[in-house]
Structure 1
Amino acid sequence: MEGTHGLSKGTIDALKALFVILAFIAVVLRLVANWKYNRKLLVDDYISISAIPFLISVAVLSDLAGNGFHDPDSSPYRIAQLAVSISVFTPLALWTCKAPILFLYIRLFGVKKWLRITSYVTLGFTAAVYASGIIAIPPACTPHTTNLSDAFIDGCQTRTRMINVYLGGTSVFADVIILVLPMPVVFGLKLLIRSRIGLVFLFLSGLFAIGASVISLVFKAVSLTSPTTSLALSILATITECSVALIVGCVPSLRVLWSKILKPSVKSSRGLTTTDPTGNRTNRGTSHYMVVGEGTDRKPPGSNAALVVSTEVHTSTSTVADYQQQQQQQQNQGPQQVYGQPYYGRPSDGPFGEVQPPFGVYTEAYALQTRHQGVWGR
């Protein structure tokens, strides 16, 4: 197959590989974020993991199939075997790429009964449709002899094209549901401007996935009236659709990876190196975290309790004796007044005028009442 609608085989293979690699990277980062932050993986994490081998299988098998039964370099027997394999892995890839988004909706917006029910119904409906597609093609395309008749080849092609249109229409329907379903809840939240901008880009990527599924459906529909139409671009669009859906489902975890793990680490690594009056050099780093309990929609609408933790990590060249001497001087001076209350903590002569402990980690936590910001929080 030299070219397909202006795209060479090498270009199509490169695009398929690109989208699969991007999806793989997104899933790996998703797993890293969820494991480091939650210390556990959820059901949608495991589904995302299973989507990668299915996606790779579709890409590899479609490349081996070439131009299908119209490929002069492939035997009909081999093409029939590949058609059966592709008919199994494609529905599995479609469902496992889209399902994590619906499970994410259930976890985030599950308190909305209508949204939870709609998500479960969509999961069940798409699973049933894709399962029927897996069952329908093998009986018509499984070769029982190497010498395939023209009637067998025609029957396999007809069944495959019809099922492809059937599955393609379901994919478009599922993508539209996934895009529209959370809109009433999300746009009803009082979000920061940057959060709104992030949601806009997220929904635009959802539109891109819908566009890919529509293009795939168009090529599949054209193949019904034009049997010589190559399905290479249709499979490329399907892989693009699956990859984008998988990446979109990983976006919340990628946000956690940056805001809760990478960003605080970067801030901590930018510690200030200072010299106290005794000539000791001190590295000082500070990380700030906001920990909000799960299911914020379940809390009273007036306010939302959060815990802000400020962690300061110190490493110093001062000796233990220096630090103990400083503590003794502090006790002789008596308590300090902090917010009108006696405080026996660290000296108040500023972060650069005290003798730091040789090695230490200080953690200060205080409860904070913030206005309810919705599921996405602040």
Structure 2
Amino acid sequence: MFDWPWPDSVLNGPADVSPDGTYNFGVNPPYDTETYALIAVCLALTIVGALLRVYVRIRVTKKVYIEDYLALFALVPYFTFIWSLIMYIQGGGLFVHQWNIKVGNMFDLAVYLFVFTIIDPIYAIPAKAAILLEWKRIFVPRRTRNRFYWGAWFLISLNSVFYFIATFFVVFANIPVAKNWDVLLPGSSPFNRKTIDIVATGINLTVDVLTFILPQPVIWSLKLTNSHKIGLTLMFSLGLLSVGAAAGRLYATVRTVFPWPNGGDTSYTVSCLWLWYLAELTTVNLVMAAPSVPRAVAGHSFLGRLLALVLSWTSVFSSKSRTAVSKTWPRTIGSAPSSRLHRIADEDGQAMGLADLEAMKGFQNSSYMDTTTTGLSSPTSIVKTVEVDQEEETASRRSLGPTHQRQHPWMGPV
């Protein structure tokens, strides 16, 4: 694909020595179908998550924050990585032994590997900053400087500074820089590339683990039921997928033989690293989109109404099997169920979280809230302007009237 300034006798030779002396330059990557299917799934999940986030910001909250721009920017290196992975596959490198690849093709693959390396910091810095900034907005009250606040900023700073430094060492691991892919150029290699990559992926895994741990103490300290706490934990536990993918990436980095041509079968051993990195980037995208999903399908949103319509049709079809029973025994006789519909919004026009909803219990009939018991802010400041609409379903209570007495004449009036 690229024009390399070397004789054809060099470019058409094998990129490595075959252990059994046989060469097959026409072999295709053996897992093309499975890899393309995996790429399609990852792209679909990323695009759906991004669209849900955009939908919530434009139609539901109608507010855009800096983390939204960072998350949107992170999609550029993500799609660039997808492109470089596809080009690497089409170049014949994924799970193909290096002695079955020509030197000229291996030069091409080395270019995509270098793009892979540069994409890492360009994606990781804005993506992880977007996650931590949004979590800080969720868990830290305004004008508050608590442990979560400082922990989030520490992780943002650590991740950003580290990646800036690591990128410098990776880019200048070979002098001149073009020697990173054109290994036949004269020059020097002042830094050990594999050592840099292992350290980089190790710190990346550490940041992911700390990011997952950060909100857990806050969630379990909220005055919520255990089921609500578990629900919040599960929503924010998507970070465990990212941690698992980062751990797999570290393992693949240790197992990868590079840099080419000194290491050996680079084209084959680096294939697992490509796939683990694809999984890591996709799971980070899901973590960025997770807080937007509940708001996107909330009852007052278009998607929420659409989902309710689908569920209502499902319930209509499923209730046909109970028609005879419902005709004989009215649903409201002998029971008094009640339901409440709450619509709570803050001054940003956003739905209040579970923590705020829990704090509102016991104060719905009051004209003020004691902020010292909720932990939302100081007792001298107003944090939330709340509207509460409550509807009480009284059909069951009315059903306990004359009809109930006629069916049970031995009972007195209620």
Normalising by structure 1, what TM-score? 0.66
CA distance 1:243–1:148, change in 2 (3 Å): closer
Q: Residue 125 of structure 2 contacts residue 160 of structure 2 at CA under 8 Å; is this kept in 1?
A: yes
SS of 1:85's partner is helix
Q: Which runs of 5+ in 1 are unaligned?
A: 271-286, 312-378
Tell me the CA shift for residue 192 of structure 1: 3.8
* Pairing 1:118–2:133 present: no
Alignment partner, residue 252 of structure 2: 219
Query: Of Structure 1 and Structure 2, which has the larger fraction of its residues in strand?
Result: 1
Q: Residue 56 of structure 2 contacts residue 62 of structure 2 at CA under 8 Å; is this kept in 1?
A: no
Q: Residue 130 of structure 2 contacts residue 288 of structure 2 at CA under 8 Å; is this kept in 1?
A: yes
Alignment partner, residue 324 of structure 1: none
* Pairing 1:228–2:257 present: no
CA distance 1:264–1:11, change in 2 (3 Å): closer
Tell me the CA shift for residue 65 of structure 1: 3.2
Alignment partner, residue 195 of structure 2: 162
- In 1, the alpha carbon distance for the partners of 2:342 and 2:181 equals 67
Deviations 1:151-196 (A, max 9, x none): 76x959x844333222211221111011101111111112245433
Deviations 1:307-351 (A, max 9, x none): 12479xxxxxxxxxxxxxxxxxxxxxxxxxxxxxxxxxxxxxxxx
What letter is aligned with 2:65? L
Equivalent of residue 371 in structure 2, options 283, 300, 303: 300
CA distance 1:125–1:227, change in 2 (3 Å): farther
- In 2, the alpha carbon distance for the partners of 1:80 and 1:143 equals 10
Q: Which stretch shifts more, 224-233 or 291-300?
A: 291-300
Equivalent of residue 149 in structure 1, options 157, 160, 184: 184
Equivalent of residue 61 in structure 1, options 84, 97, 102: 84
* Pairing 1:72–2:114 present: no
- In 2, the alpha carbon distance for the partners of 1:51 and 1:167 equals 19
Alignment partner, residue 125 of structure 2: 95
Q: Which runs of 5+ in 2 are unaligned?
A: 1-26, 313-340, 360-368, 375-383, 392-414
Q: Residue 47 of structure 1 contacts residue 100 of structure 1 at CA under 8 Å; is this kept in 2?
A: yes
Matches within 5 A, 1:208-357: 208-223=241-256, 227-229=264-266, 230-259=269-298, 260-261=300-301, 262-263=303-304, 289-293=343-347, 300-302=371-373, 306-309=386-389
- In 1, the alpha carbon distance for the partners of 2:108 and 2:228 equals 51
What letter is aligned with 2:386? A
- Aligned-residue CA RMSD in angstroms? 3.7
Q: Residue 236 of structure 2 contacts residue 290 of structure 2 at CA under 8 Å; is this kept in 1?
A: no
- In 2, the alpha carbon distance for the partners of 1:232 and 1:145 equals 18
SS of 1:75's partner is helix
Q: Residue 16 of structure 1 contacts residue 240 of structure 1 at CA under 8 Å; is this kept in 2?
A: no
Deviations 1:231-274 (A, max 9, x none): 2221211121121122122212111111141335666998xxxx
What letter is aligned with 1:82? Y
- In 2, the alpha carbon distance for the partners of 1:251 and 1:147 equals 42
- In 2, the alpha carbon distance for the partners of 1:247 and 1:145 equals 32
Q: Which stretch shifts more, 221-230 or 244-253?
A: 221-230
Alignment partner, residue 48 of structure 1: 71
Tell me the CA shift for residue 12 of structure 1: 2.5
Tell me the CA shift for residue 42 of structure 1: 0.9
